[in-house]
Structure 1
Amino acid sequence: ELYVKQIMRILALGLRHCHNAGIAHRDLKPENVLVCGDPEKWATGGATDGIVKLCDFGLCATITEGAKLTDFVGSPGFFAPELMTRKEYDGAIADMWSLGAVMVEMVLGHNDFDD
């Protein structure tokens, strides 16, 4: 749907800002996305005053290029596969996986990665 595209675009830009500032969120999930306004109107051009915010940075970590994270945090169904296997991981890449899982839930209405 068009409003999913709008929300995902804003979230991706916000996440890029975090990563450029050296921060990995590490707990991206729908419950940590705040939407103010009617996204369906944004998609049709009916409103431009909508706001999307990423919240709950309680599990965030400082990241540097090339460094790997070793603590395994996040929410089942939304963390990257390398966290399930307890491997070292790149926080920014893991966040991008989680963002994709959020998009899947927004489009399908359920999370296929929760099993």
Structure 2
Amino acid sequence: MNDRPLILIVEDDPTVSGLLQTLMHMEGYETLSAKDGLEGLLKAEFRHPALILLDVMMPNVDGERVLDELHQRPEFTNVPVVIVTGRADAHAAFDPVVGHDNVITKPFDATALARRVGELLGGGKA
């Protein structure tokens, strides 16, 4: 059985998704990816990730709707969500919802993102 924390990466850009997966693997985490919000919600429900890295601007179901849906479900109350987006107003829009430190703008600093994930999951490298 794998005891590494599972991180769900919800990102429609395959290049960014691949970069996030590689970074999280290097930090010792297991990853699962979804290419849009609908797929992300389904995978979150099925696999119960320890943390979600969530893009905002995606086709079908966007990140804002995913965030709303997650906040309505008790099983995700304690699952941290880190917004990773290129949206110019990201901090104004999402700081009140997920907290200032959990909004990362693209292009992002990989070291800072890895450090934040480690803080949220209680320590860093698994």
Structure with greater strand share of residues = 2
Q: Which has the larger radius of gyration?
A: 1
Structure with greater helix share of residues = 2
Q: TM-score, normalised by structure 2?
A: 0.28
